[in-house]
Structure 1
Amino acid sequence: MKTDFKFSNLLGTVYRQGNLVYTSDGTCLISPVGNRVTVFDLVNNTSHTLPLAHRTNVAQIALHPRGQLLLTVDEQGHAILSHFTRRIVLYHFSLKARVSALLFSPCGKFFAVALGRKIEVWKTPSTPGSSDSPEGNEGGLEFAPFVRYRQYVGHHDEVQNIEWSSDSRFFLSASKDLTARIWSLDPEVGFTPTVLAGHRTAVYAAWFSEDQETIYTVSKDGALFQWQYLPPAGADPDNISADDERWRINERYYFYQSQDHAHLTTAAFHAATNLLVTGFSNGLFMIHELPSFSEIHKLSISASQISTVSISPDGLWLAFGASTLGQLLVWEWQSESYILKQQGHFDNLNALTYSPSGDRIITTSDDGKVKVWDAASGFCIVTFTEHTSGVTACEFAKRGNVLFTASLDGSVRAFDLIRYRCFRTFTATKRLSFSSIAVDPSGEVVAAGSLDDFDIHLWSVQTGQLLDQLAGHEGPVSSLAFAPNGTSLVSGSWDRTVRIWSVFARTQTSEPLQLQADVLSLAVRPDSKQITVSTLDGQLTFWSVSEGTQESGMDGRRDVSGGRKISDRRTAANVAGTKSFNTLTYSADGSVVLAAGLSKYICLYAVETGVLLQKYTVSVNLSLEGTQEFLNSRMLTEGGPQGLLDEQGEASDLEDRIDKSLPGSKRGDAAQRKTAPEVRVAGVAFSPTGRAFCAASTEGLLIYSLDAGVQFDPFDLDIDVTAESTLDALAQHEYLKALVMSFRLDSPKLTTHIYRSIPVSDIRLVVRDVPEVYLERLIGHVAKEADTSPRMELNLLWTECLLKVHGRVLKERQRDFAEVVRLLQRAVGRMQGEIMKLADSNAHAVEFLLAQSRTGSHGGGESRLMSGVEERKEDGEDGQWIGLD
């Protein structure tokens, strides 16, 4: 089995903090998620996470006007410049201070960054291989890419916002010192930096109008000032000198202030449409049209304050982010409809599982919610909120679309994932907090274990009745699993035993397996012949189900041992409490075991040899506890570690000084907890195809997959294989040669062009003669085309030829082609659903037209359904519908 899994996507977290940025075409939205950045494609309804990772949470992001360069800065001022389209990290740089605002100039040659009270303008590094590279560089990498152009000092408090003029000659800055200032990029004749003072609270933002004759400033108390270059009020217009004219307040507007003393938290202005969008601390947002200040919309979209707002380049879509609840919304204000509405889990993840088809991932959390994620698009498609307390475990039935969950509220629930509803609730004779669950392969029996009681409860799925309580354990039941063949139930307990129950036999017997420490987790191999058990002492043991004997074991304490916490007085290797595995899972073929626990590592072991094959790092985010490897003496003070000192009372704003969180709480509101969250992995699961696995971590739902793209194969390349020679082969009707050459070049666009250019009559010949080494790539490309392009008949012809010609190979090598065949099956299913919907719609439309025609003929008058539609009659039969012209 391949073990070179790479990080591919991050689900379960859609927004944490910072600003939101649209791409230049307005089709994608860029959102910071912890120490990573996720891109949401609003047109194709997909999302992907960029491979870059900061050492702390991302605070500000900015996109180059041309859409090539993405600049991200974390909370410590470390910047990463990456190529946005190629997803490649170009440079690392440190700005050496916390960044509060970041923006590229419209010309793209500079970017301005606010570092506390000062503003710095830097030259934009050149893009490798582009035409905008400086002379002498020829599009290559620069030795010193970040060059500071100029520094501006004058504000007395933190700068909150920066806005450039359209010609990139001037920019505005808004600060907490109650003022906004006008700066020039280069010294201008007759221009001096101007201070715009008059607000009573901190100025949040300042903007230029489209003609740059007007400046708008908005403050925290909801005051909007309109500034224009005017002479003094009451001056004689005939005796006005140039020295008398200056920027003056022309109009003052004030937003509606509710009874709960809500204040302005974010604002954005679209100069082309004069659209002003403001967000408030009570979750309310307002849309106004300037300069008349006429209110267009007022709507409450969140239960907490709106952290940021962004307007698309065309001014039609508004993006809102709420960091307290982790919400991300894209709203079209003209039609008053949601383009995107996503929210991650409010609390820590507890468990996850794949659906049997592999296209859905289910996550559970302490917030009592069960979310269903689409593995392909990365979006949450449904959220179940029936549980009233934390959901601790979940498992899919092997047959049907039924999901079972166990919760601390004392119930086990069954959800129908076709109708998206809870259809069965299972409860015990007394109130228990269930912590583990197992489902019979037939889907008829569900079992649950609790940490409050030592019995295992069994229910009938059909009737919902409690069938039995299995007694035998002398400690809380920590883990449950049914054997895939359905013959037995395996349970692990804190009494240091694992029991194998014959629940379907006439006499329910259990065979105990004695271990040396408390059992934390167990898993049964897909062939039902072996189980693996994780214990509190960090040991992994493998047991034979039929013999009841131990086959092998390994010590995983050194492998799983993670980083140190900020308060630890020992090194990471000697920290207690992180040296055991809390979750286990087998791969689809049973050859490897994936294990994780309360650390930042996920370990992949070979079952036969017991060798550690791979070790994956969940996160390098220093904002989480348990990710640092070494002690940083610079962070130690006389009062203890600097991260544990309460600096909240030194904040300048009153609401920032008020502490609303519980002391020492590690769960709850991620934006208000006093103690940093700890890195941990609560669950891991392999996909049914074995090509990917997911992990429920503190950062969110991490997906690791094998490289699904075409690998670069230099052994198949020679000097004659180029894009030009490939197109020449296509022009000479050498279709197979052109297709194979495009696969060798690993060019998706070129492959798509050749795929669509092959005549229909030659498709079967090309499919028949394609080398078997390129068969997986061809099937994957056909599946991608069938899922995205509108050429339905062409895609179905390719699919038919592939299955007819290579069906035997696909059946014999199911393991190698499982992923691409599943993608092809899903694409065909989607097309089938669309065709059925269209057919049903047409049938209803024809029935309606027939009914209307009969109604019109009985009424005695001529009835026309629409212009250009005529009724034709044949054979002299009145009322017979023949067709529509």
Structure 2
Amino acid sequence: MKSDFKFSNLLGTVYRQGNIVYSDDGTKLYSPVGNRVTCFDLVNNKSFTFDYEHRKNIARIALNKNGTLLFSVDEDGRAILVNNVARTVLHHFNFKDKVSDLQFSPDGHYFAVASGRFIQTWKTPDFSEDRQFAPFVKHRNYAGHYADVTSVTWSNDSRFFVSTSKDLTTKIFSLRSEEKDVAMTLAGHRDYVIKAFFNATQEIIYTVSKDGALFKWEYTERPSELSDEESEDEEDENMEEETKPMSWRITAKSFFYADANLRCATFHPESNIMVVGFTNGEFRIYELPEFNLIQKLSMGQNAVNTVNINKSGEWLAFGSSTLGQLLVYEWQSESYILKQQGHFDSTNCVCYSPDGSRVVSASDDGKIKVWDVVSGFCLVTLQEHTAAVTGLSFAKKGQVLFSSSLDGTVRAWDLIRFRNFRTFTATERVQFNCLAVDPSGEVVVAGSQDTFEIFVWSVQTAQLLDSLSGHEGPVSCLAFGSENSVLASASWDRTVRIWSIFGRTQSVEPIEVQSDVLGICMRPDSKEVAVSTLDGHITIFDIEDAKQLHLIDARKDILKGRHLEDRFEAKNSARATYFSTIDYSFDGLSLVAGGNNNSLCLYDISNEVLLKRFTVSQNMQFNGTLQQLNSKRMTEAGAIDLIDRDGENSDLEDRIDTSLPGSHRGDPSARNVRPQIRVTSVSFSPTASAFTAASTEGLLVYSVDESLIFDPFDLDVDITPESTIESLSEKEYLTALVMAFRLNEHYLIQRVYESVPVKDIQLVSEDLPVVYLDRILNFIGSIAMESPHLEFNVNWIQCLVTSHGKYISSHKHQFASSIRLLQRFLNRIAKDVVDTTKRNGHLASYLQSAQAIEENGLEENGSMKDEESEEDDEMNGEEEDSDEEGWIVPEKKMNGAFKDDEEEGLDDSDEN
């Protein structure tokens, strides 16, 4: 198994705070998720998360017009410049103050940063004349505001920009020094100015304030300060000499009249559409300058923190940080393009579907979310549980999901219709904390900390079949293998018991361990069981002989981290030196482990060594990520960072603490608690290419990305794409296929693969070297789902398995990933064809029998023609005509019946 796993995506969280940004073509949306940035491809229905991290949560992001540079700044003003195409970090920079806004100019040559009371303009990083990369060169620093700047907006020609501030004013600045006379202050609002915009002609400026006032400013004549008579005389004298002075004046005032304060606004100059969001979750769409209300909708009861509109003006994007909501709304058709929301509370457990295409997560908020691995989007939210969900498990066939909860129920979910079709309860109300499902899907078991028993239910009847007694303490975890119905259970009594669910006797001998068991998992072949204990060890036992096979000491591999209140370094901490969740890989050769710490460890079981360690997060706003003790941040009363400074905020809603005492995790007497970084559950993908971990940040997905790796095999000088195509033209199919695999070019492999005639597939499969067997099976599995050549692919699979079946069965661990891909293809597509064929079997036999009757009739008529007269010949001819006419009618009926059966079969397959 490959161990070069890398971070690939972050699921379970779509938005935290800050602003959201569209790409220039309007098809991609960039959203800050904690200390990372996630990109949503709205057209292709995909998403990915950049693998770089900030040390604090991101406050602002910006994207240049070409889409090549992504700029992100955290809450402390530390910025990271990223190549958006290659997804690589180019430069780190520190603005040394909080950044409230960050905007690239429309021409892309400059960007403006609102930091404190000042606006800084910088040249966009580019290659200088001597071909050296100059990341940050400051152009000018602009001052004039008396309070923090709230926003910066560029004009369309990139010559001017307007800034708004908490000092109730708006200022106009010019980028060029020769146009310094343009600088002007626009005053008149009675509350913070949230945002200011230029219209398309740059002759009108709109300003929006927090109290819901919209001012329209136009560049008009400045009124004279002299009296009317003097001004008339002066006008007559100087009319020809000089023009009248011009200035920006308020020409219209409009008010939104909402029950809440305005939080965010955006404007589309081409269509004159303004979108505003309020603190009560309401958003409105207006047409300017007439101030016509187009739509008024609500996305919940929590504040709309950010709003943006794409270049075409069709899609509106909203973000709400309280619930972590992200919406993309098409206002003309009044439909949602994207509607996503993360878990409101911490994630407890995670598991993969048997085909590896979905990840299911559950949380303390009682909700279960099903995530698509490729797109990264949530497909459905299941919310029948009324308390925290503690366990998840799939049945082997993959369409049924089981969940256990502290509300005293175990529920079975149909993932085709997305509904709860079974509910299992015990004879008395107990809180279930662990769950396991028999591989056959006939039996589900659950354990509780309230009693010392294991409850067994029948999935078909939902009846409680049995309760397994034997443990002398609360049951902490359960695990089934995937081969047979052997159940492993662990308890606080420091024992592990192996149960045969369908055996005649339930007497089992306990396996003694040295400490409390926190996590357990069984190898897929059900021959070994791994146990993680409180003393920091991972022990592997043989199930049949109850012997200890391996012992891994994980204490030295764990990144413990220190909390802010700790007065010692992380290496001196005794906190969380253990793993609470473990899982086997697909081949049973390695194991991934996580716990209440900042590390994920991948172990090789046979050698008992650490293969790779992953750091879960570098976000310093979580407890457990710091390593060193910073003495200057410590006082006699504790850490400076723990002091509540909300009372110093200038906004009233920021000063008020709306949370209830004890509503946060941690010390119930503390009103606000800093969350701790931890991993609550890990799960390996059945396709062997990824594993996921449920952490405080969300669902972290680590995968082996083979698409970006050039991995030639036995490459030679003579092997080129031209020589491969030449071998193909000479009908040397095996040679061409091997050469294509050596080059590892996908388009070349597909061309050779599809060029092999059907009659030669068997011969090529028999002579194919076993070195390339896994590669061709993987290739077929990857293209078969979208390929139109159904029978062609099935022929290849049949010939390969027939020719090399013995080798595949003796080397199962090498072919596990490719075999699962083929199983997915056969289960999803070929199954529908088989069902349709079975349904139309009677019709096919009817057609064959009718054809046989017709042929027999023709043969009899032909033999009679030699003996009969001409009159009889004419009669036979009439009978033949009548026979033909008689067969025409059933043929029409049969075609109609065949068509109906086909449609019925398609409907059933769609339903399936």
- TM (norm. structure 2) is 0.83
Task: Tell me if structure 2 keeps the 8 A contact 1:457–1:470.
Answer: yes
CA distance in 1, matches of 2:20, 2:822: 35
Task: Tell me if structure 1 keeps the 8 A contact 2:352–2:685.
Answer: yes
Task: Tell me if structure 2 keeps the 8 A contact 1:712–1:744.
Answer: no
Q: Match for residue 33 of structure 2?
A: 33
Give the 3-state SS of the residue equivalent to 2:290 in structure 1. coil
What is the Cα deviation at residue 606 of structure 1? 2.1
Give the 3-state SS of the residue equivalent to 1:272 in structure 2. coil
For 1:212, give the aligned amino acid: Q
Superimposed CA distance per residue, residues 304-338 of structure 1 (whole angstroms, 9 cap, x where no aligned partner): 11111111111111111111101111111111111
CA distance in 1, matches of 2:833, 2:65: 41
Q: Match for residue 253 of structure 1?
A: 254
Q: How does 1:607-618 map to 2 (within 5 A)?
A: 607-618=605-616
Return the index of the structure with the highest Cα Rg. Answer: 2
The verdict on how the C-alpha distance between 1:654 and 1:589 changes in structure 2, with shifts beyond 3 A counting, is: same
Q: Match for residue 869 of structure 1?
A: none
Q: Match for residue 855 of structure 1?
A: none
CA distance in 2, matches of 1:818, 1:460: 31
CA distance in 2, matches of 1:121, 1:95: 12
Q: How does 1:234-633 map to 2 (within 5 A)?
A: 244-258=245-259, 262-633=260-631
CA distance in 1, matches of 2:528, 2:33: 39
What is the Cα deviation at residue 64 of structure 1? 1.1
The verdict on how the C-alpha distance between 1:836 and 1:155 changes in structure 2, with shifts beyond 3 A counting, is: farther
The verdict on how the C-alpha distance between 1:757 and 1:520 changes in structure 2, with shifts beyond 3 A counting, is: closer
CA distance in 1, matches of 2:724, 2:252: 63
Give the 3-state SS of the residue equivalent to 1:573 in structure 2. helix
CA distance in 1, matches of 2:836, 2:464: 45
CA distance in 2, matches of 1:645, 1:287: 41
The verdict on how the C-alpha distance between 1:516 and 1:824 changes in structure 2, with shifts beyond 3 A counting, is: closer
Is 1:219–2:209 an aligned residue pair?
A: yes
For 1:195, give the aligned amino acid: T
Q: Give the gaps of 5 or more residues in structure 1.
A: 127-132, 840-872
What is the Cα deviation at residue 806 of structure 1? 4.0
The verdict on how the C-alpha distance between 1:116 and 1:183 changes in structure 2, with shifts beyond 3 A counting, is: same
CA distance in 1, matches of 2:280, 2:741: 54
Q: Match for residue 75 of structure 1?
A: 75
What is the Cα deviation at residue 447 of structure 1? 1.4
Task: Tell me if structure 1 keeps the 8 A contact 2:737–2:753.
Answer: no
Give the 3-state SS of the residue equivalent to 2:580 in structure 1. strand
Give the 3-state SS of the residue equivalent to 2:647 in structure 1. helix
What is the Cα deviation at residue 87 of structure 1? 1.5
CA distance in 1, matches of 2:832, 2:671: 47
Superimposed CA distance per residue, residues 416-452 of structure 1 (whole angstroms, 9 cap, x where no aligned partner): 1111100111122222221111112222221111122
What is the Cα deviation at residue 380 of structure 1? 1.0
Which of 143, 154, 173 lines up with 1:164 in the alignment? 154
CA distance in 1, matches of 2:835, 2:461: 35
Task: Tell me if structure 1 keeps the 8 A contact 2:439–2:485.
Answer: no
* The structure with more helix, counted as a fraction of residues: 2
Task: Tell me if structure 2 keeps the 8 A contact 1:347–1:667.
Answer: no
Q: Match for residue 129 of structure 2?
A: 135
**Worse-superposed segment, 240-249 or 74-83:** 240-249
The verdict on how the C-alpha distance between 1:740 and 1:81 changes in structure 2, with shifts beyond 3 A counting, is: farther
Superimposed CA distance per residue, residues 570-629 of structure 1 (whole angstroms, 9 cap, x where no aligned partner): 221232231111111111221112111000111122222222222111111112110111
CA distance in 2, matches of 1:692, 1:876: 59
CA distance in 2, matches of 1:105, 1:837: 60
CA distance in 2, matches of 1:623, 1:100: 19
What is the Cα deviation at residue 743 of structure 1? 7.5
CA distance in 1, matches of 2:268, 2:588: 56
Q: How does 1:781-796 map to 2 (within 5 A)?
A: 793=788, 796=790
Q: Match for residue 12 of structure 2?
A: 12
Q: Match for residue 691 of structure 2?
A: 693
For 1:99, give the aligned amino acid: V
Superimposed CA distance per residue, residues 388-436 of structure 1 (whole angstroms, 9 cap, x where no aligned partner): 1110111111235111111111111111111110011112222222111
The verdict on how the C-alpha distance between 1:440 and 1:272 changes in structure 2, with shifts beyond 3 A counting, is: same
Q: Match for residue 712 of structure 1?
A: 710
Task: Tell me if structure 2 keeps the 8 A contact 1:348–1:667.
Answer: no
Task: Tell me if structure 2 keeps the 8 A contact 1:112–1:121.
Answer: yes
CA distance in 1, matches of 2:834, 2:273: 43
CA distance in 2, matches of 1:744, 1:118: 59
Q: Match for residue 186 of structure 2?
A: 196
Superimposed CA distance per residue, residues 220-249 of structure 1 (whole angstroms, 9 cap, x where no aligned partner): 111111110112469999778756421111
The verdict on how the C-alpha distance between 1:22 and 1:722 changes in structure 2, with shifts beyond 3 A counting, is: farther
Task: Tell me if structure 1 keeps the 8 A contact 2:275–2:285.
Answer: yes
What is the Cα deviation at residue 210 of structure 1? 0.5
The count of corresponding residues between Structure 1 and Structure 2 is: 823
Task: Tell me if structure 2 keeps the 8 A contact 1:560–1:597.
Answer: no
Give the 3-state SS of the residue equivalent to 2:797 in structure 1. helix
For 2:509, give the aligned amino acid: E
CA distance in 2, matches of 1:18, 1:502: 54
Give the 3-state SS of the residue equivalent to 2:681 in structure 1. strand
Superimposed CA distance per residue, residues 774-795 of structure 1 (whole angstroms, 9 cap, x where no aligned partner): 776676667666667xxx54x6
Give the 3-state SS of the residue equivalent to 1:511 in structure 2. coil
Task: Tell me if structure 1 keeps the 8 A contact 2:431–2:450.
Answer: yes
What is the Cα deviation at residue 526 of structure 1? 1.7
Task: Tell me if structure 1 keeps the 8 A contact 2:741–2:749.
Answer: no
For 2:379, give the aligned amino acid: I
Task: Tell me if structure 1 keeps the 8 A contact 2:309–2:316.
Answer: yes
Q: Match for residue 53 of structure 1?
A: 53
Is 1:184–2:185 an aligned residue pair?
A: no
CA distance in 1, matches of 2:803, 2:191: 72
What is the Cα deviation at residue 503 of structure 1? 3.6
CA distance in 2, matches of 1:386, 1:266: 35
CA distance in 2, matches of 1:780, 1:586: 22
The verdict on how the C-alpha distance between 1:389 and 1:215 changes in structure 2, with shifts beyond 3 A counting, is: same
- RMSD between aligned residues: 3.6
Task: Tell me if structure 2 keeps the 8 A contact 1:585–1:684.
Answer: yes
**Worse-superposed segment, 544-553 or 779-788:** 779-788
Give the 3-state SS of the residue equivalent to 1:510 in structure 2. coil
CA distance in 2, matches of 1:488, 1:781: 35
CA distance in 1, matches of 2:833, 2:247: 66
CA distance in 1, matches of 2:530, 2:162: 63
CA distance in 1, matches of 2:886, 2:187: 84
Give the 3-state SS of the residue equivalent to 1:188 in structure 2. helix
For 1:175, give the aligned amino acid: S
- TM (norm. structure 1) is 0.85
**Worse-superposed segment, 34-43 or 424-433:** 424-433
Is 1:90–2:78 an aligned residue pair?
A: no
Superimposed CA distance per residue, residues 265-302 of structure 1 (whole angstroms, 9 cap, x where no aligned partner): 11111111111111111111100111111111111112
CA distance in 1, matches of 2:154, 2:275: 18
Superimposed CA distance per residue, residues 52-106 of structure 1 (whole angstroms, 9 cap, x where no aligned partner): 2222212111111011111111122222211112222222222222211111111
The verdict on how the C-alpha distance between 1:528 and 1:756 changes in structure 2, with shifts beyond 3 A counting, is: closer
